[in-house]
Amino acid sequence: MGGNILAISGGGFSKEDKAYIDEYLLKIPKRQGPLKIAFIPTASNDAQGYIDKFYEAFKTEHTSHLTIKDFESQNIQENVNSLDIVYVGGGNTQNMLEIWKRTRFDVVLKNAYQNGVILAGISAGAMCWFETCFSEKNEQEYEEFEGLGLLKGSLCPHYNDKERREAFDNWSANQTGIKLYSLNDNENLHFRNEKLIAEIIT
């Protein structure tokens, strides 16, 4: 496999201007000049306001975004492979993964990762890279479902949220032999070649 994945728990461009974690992300490729970075707002159902914030935050780079409709374009794999960074937004993780699987965009992302494209994401976009996700089914209930499996184990973002923490702790008490990560907002993990190489607190 190999490559870089940046899992962002909370913060980033959606919450703050000139976010440190976004600047950190842009330094991962270690090269000069504008980077090709695409935003994937599937989890927010392609919310326009969220897309606008992305363009504003990364205006010094070569930016684009991919909506659910774009996943069905014939040259989608080529497009994504040509990027430096894919940045997945937050929202409904389970709905996002269902859409990706239905349109085979999950396969596109896995192929891009093998090709050296950096994968990054916040909240839903941080959780999705792991084998197992545990998140909201609806406003009252949480449930377990399958992630993309690029990283072993499971990640709980927004661990500082009391309700989410209790639900995750109850679920994780019954998990054996699985690597569990829990991040408060503004705690972030950088994986290279599927190994955790940095914990960044912003």
Residues acting as catalytic residues: 123, 158
Task: State the sign of the Cα–Cα–Cα–Cα dihedral 42, 61, 35, 70.
Answer: positive
Find where tokens 């072993």 sit. 152
Find where tokens 């991919």 sit. 66
39, 44, 95: which is closest to 70 by C-alpha?
39
Task: State the sign of the Cα–Cα–Cα–Cα dihedral 6, 9, 12, 14.
Answer: positive
130 in Cβ contact with 149 (< 8 Å): yes
